[in-house]
A and B are shown apart, each in its own frame.
Chain A
Amino acid sequence: MAAMAMTTSGGPLLVAALLLPLGAMWLAFVLGRAYAPRVVAYALPVGVLLALAIIADLLCSGDALVYLLGAWTPPLGIALRADGLSAAMLLTTTVVLSTVAWFAWADFSQAAEAPEARQPLMFWVLLPAVWVALNTVFLANDLFTLYVALELLTFAAVPLVCLEGHPETLRAALRYLLFALLGSVLYLLGAVLLYGAYGTLDIAQLGAQVHPDIATWAAAVLMTVGLLAKTALFPLHLWLPPAHAGAPAAASAMLSALVVKGSFFLVVRLWLDVLPGAMLLEAGQWLAALGAAAILVGNVVALRQRRLKLLIAYSTVAQIGYLFLMFPLAAGLAGMGLPDTPAVTGGLLQAVSHATAKAAMFMAAGLIYSALGHDRIDDLQGVAQQLPMTVMAFALGGIALVGLPPSGGFMAKWLLLSAALTTGQWWWAAVMVIGGLMTASYVFSIVVRTIVAVDPEKMPKMVVPRYREASVLALAAFSFLLGCVALLPVEIVQVGRLSGVMP
């Protein structure tokens, strides 16, 4: 393909996007103790600027950024490629990680004189590890590098689950590891089958060459199911609630918001760029059916939870279901000869909105836990009096999940609803509406419980540093106002896409 023949002018930015977090991780480990948080704290804003530079280059040139490692073209060499979807996810990752780092500063900082402790050091090493793994997932353009990235993501995320070292969290982390490894093995099997059939692992070349045959079929099945196991789509979600609820708040925020989006991004790459779109309508219905089951069961079980963090984790299970609704809609639009932009933009906006809102909610729950000493929902009375910014952040994040304007969740819902009704798949529209009502139900009941006034004398004074509340509120406000991005005259999703309308 001509577009892949050479590195574009913005290509080195992609290398920087990989080297920066990698360097930060290595430096943090080597310098240790008091310097690790500072290394990460300096690297993250640079990462945000880098992501913005990539987006700017993308919009100016109107085409994807490409970098060929060693100037060797695929299939011999490895290419890094950033299209609109990658760039948006890069920016989301850096923004969420910056806020998490700001939030976690108090929990995981260590004085220079104190003996080096495992927990703080590993947190500041694993944060850039998750970052580099995600960046590789978003930027790599061949299946094997993506496999490496997936494994790196798993091995960075699993220790985050059991960071505190309690027995239950160790058990949850091992479950997560086993399920994730099963998923990786299936993915690798599928990648190997594709290599055997087509002789290339490069996504662009596969997308051009792939045709229906038994190897493609087997690879598609295995890779999809493997990635579903890593994304915790119903019914493979069993590892997610204990893992995300057991981790410390900052780690839960990273896991729920970003780590599951990595494997979801790969499903999107696979289905939109590698496999032929219009043939996927029936399989897309199955994906969305699982998504609908996730939405319904996840929300119902979330409503019944007694602990705040478990409720938010089950809410993640439900919200992951929304992400998979985009597949039959994109396939349906492609089948009707229409551009699948509404469905893809809706899915992307849902992913970004969920990432920011869920991170804010987990961090707010973490603040409540550190102030109260517990997170029992029944005993949350009076929290709003003492921690108004935290409750406000939780409410704004919840509103973004429910999908009220001007949040990104609303824009995503609108786009997916229009795609569903245009392609005549009204049943997915009904599922989205019902899911929104159920989400509103538990968000509202928690916020109301915190607002109940309690005699100030009977409540212990809750002391939480202002800057932590400010960080959570900033992220929640960002997710609440995300819908205003529609006011920008840009359509980022279509930039650099390998395949759009099927002729």
Chain B
Amino acid sequence: MNLTPVWLVATVLLPLLMLLACCVRPWRARMLPWLALGPLPGLLVALFATRDALYVFGNARLPLAFAVDRPGAALLGVASLLWLAGGWYAAAYQAETPARGRFAVCWLMTMTGCLGVFVVADMVTLYGLLGLLTVGTTGLVMQEGTPRAQRAGKIYLSMALLAESLLLAGFVLIVSSAPGNTLLIVDAPAAIVASPWRDAILCLLIAGFGIKAGLVPLHFWIPLAHGAAPVPASAMLSGAVVKASVIGLIRFMPLEHSPWLAGALLAGIGLFGALYAVLVGMTQRHPKTVLAYSSVSQMGVIVALIGMGMASGEGSAGVIAAYYAVNHVLSKGALFMAVGVVADTGRRRLWTVLLPAAVLAVGLGGLPLSGGALTKAVAKSLFGDGLAGTLATLSAIGTTVLMVHFLRCLKTFAATGPDDCAERGLRWPWLAMASASLIVPWALYLMSPRNSLPDALSPYALWAALWPIVIGVVLSWALLRWKRKLPQLPEGDVVVGLSALGSRVSEWAAGLGQGLDAALRQWAIGGSALLVLIGIFAWGLRTLL
């Protein structure tokens, strides 16, 4: 019997049931150790489910459809692994906090939304799960309750709701132009291409998913959210939550028939963001913020891959971008966990954490034989050798520099006592994720019949991965001598200007609104308004004359 529909539904249903169980106060207080069990159905889907089989449980107006494609399965698998390890880590990290019940609730909301996005196949359920994801993540960001956390949460929520409003408009346009007004996502790319509003839909979807992916210049919520959230939440945010927008872009963007301009713009914005984030990340001190900027940079590269696929009509760009994202999910999640472990580790044992962290970090830049090198080699085929290829190589060099900077910041983060050691509940998930991020990309690489081990181990491949690392290390050593001259940019860079502008506009709007309301509340004005309305409708209804 094919159990695929059972596992697909269970991916959303199990975390949702755990969330409902949290309504009972004693269960809520003891939910923390069980968090790691939530993503198990997701893992089973990634390993065993039939690809591209569609299951619809509702009717035409509310389909409740489930399906998983190749990129979705890959991302779901690694996201489930991260949620598993993250749940284990969070149970130890948050064990003593008084607000752990609230943490568990927000964690489960985020997990339901995050895992669900990979398995749903209709736009209404997708929108609902994105909303749940947003609310849960906001709760996680605001967990510590400090004013900084509240500000970060507010900014995150505003940006996420703005993104979802744009996506809603895009979805409604797609459905209006789709044959039979179908709500299924598989029919969306064809509907977009054939739609009279194709350009508007593409703009809305790119803006909506772009904000959620952290495309510059709307990326500022990422550093703020990571800085304020507790370590396990940051790991999930960077590792799994932003990948929802990646899978959204892969599934909605019509790779084979879209206008060249859309793809080129997307690739351009992505690569610009990749380089910009590296430069700003260099000025930050806190290891979590540096990692956050690195996430912005890597998401830029992933989005650029999708853009290149759209521009060149390459249908496999989706799988390539998903593969690149797989490596990022695992490495970034592990690195965030390392930050938490280092904070509890003394100088004597620091190397046991720093060494694997260094391998993972430089692996993001493309260290030979790491997962990063494999994904970069696969991505190279899409970027080609022109401007895009050069920019991609520059971003690899920049990432290496940024990651060396991260390692230096991490070292300063260590605990004070020389013999301090992080507890088992933190160390083991971190080591598990570190091993996964070394093993899984290789496993996925070798599973594809086109790839072979000798190709990956050939001297040419190794050199192609090595020289950007070497240049990056040399540059970072040079930067070290030059350190005093780097400016101190505030966390979230452009947000300072934007929020000043935003508060000016909202003050003006509020003043206008209140003034209008106060004026209308006077009897004379209100009464005259009645007469004015009679005049307005007398004019408006003149077709009845």
Contact = CB atoms under 8 A, between A and B. Distances in A.
Contacts of A225: 530, 533-534, 537
Interface in B247-284: none
B161 interface: yes
Contacts of B359: none
A419 B173 CA distance: 10
Contact of A421 (B61, B176, B533, B541): B176
A304 B514 contact: yes
Interface stretch (B36-44, B309-317, B516-524): B516-524
B99 interface: yes
Contacts of A222: 534
A291 B161 CA distance: 23
A279 B537 contact: no
Contacts of B510: 300, 303-304
Q: For A236, A285, A413, which residue has the most chain B Cβ atoms within 10 angstroms?
A: A236
Contact of B534 (A221, A297, A300, A418): A221
- Judged by DSSP, the binding face of A is helix
A437 B160 CA distance: 10
B172 A487 contact: no
A220 B509 CA distance: 34
Interface string B511-543: 011101100111100100110011011101111
Interface stretch (B120-128, B211-219, B287-295, B466-474): B120-128
A405 B172 contact: no
Interface in A47-92: none
B544 A217 contact: yes
Contacts of A453: 98-99, 145
Interface string A215-250: 011001110110011000011111000000000000
B540 A283 contact: yes
Q: For A214, A285, A448, which residue has the most chain B Cβ atoms within 10 angstroms?
A: A448
A220 B541 contact: yes
Given A225-B530, A404-B128, A404-B131, A283 B541 contact: yes
B112 to A, nearest CB: 13
A7 B161 CA distance: 51
Contacts of A234: 520
Q: For B517, B523, B543, which residue has the most chain A Cβ atoms within 10 angstroms?
A: B517
B98 A483 contact: no
Interface residues of A, number: 59
Contacts of A217: 538, 541-542, 544-545
Contacts of A437: 158, 161-162, 165
Contact of B128 (A296, A301, A406): A406
Contacts of B125: 405
Given A448-B142, A489-B59, A301 B513 contact: yes
B432 interface: no
B175 interface: yes
A128 interface: no
A427 to B, nearest CB: 12
A444 interface: yes
Contact of A236 (B172, B176, B516, B530): B530
A179 B533 CA distance: 14
A212 interface: yes
B99 to A, nearest CB: 6
B58 interface: yes
Nearest to B518: A301
B533 A414 contact: no
B168 interface: yes
Contact of B529 (A224, A236, A282, A487): A236
A229 B62 contact: no
B124 A213 contact: no
Interface string B115-146: 00000000011011001000000100010010
Nearest to B542: A217
B169 interface: yes
B150 interface: yes
Contacts of B517: 297, 301
Nearest to A417: B172
A436 B543 CA distance: 33
Contact of B58 (A182, A213, A487): A487
B165 A452 contact: no
Contacts of B128: 404-406, 410
Nearest to A297: B513
B285 interface: no
B543 A282 contact: yes
A209 interface: no
Contact of B131 (A297, A300, A405, A441): A405
16 contacts: A217-B541, A217-B544, A217-B545, A221-B534, A222-B534, A228-B533, A235-B526, A235-B533, A238-B522, A275-B544, A296-B513, A300-B509, A300-B512, A421-B169, A440-B161, A483-B62
The 4 closest A-B pairs by CB, nearest first: A405-B128, A300-B513, A283-B540, A404-B131
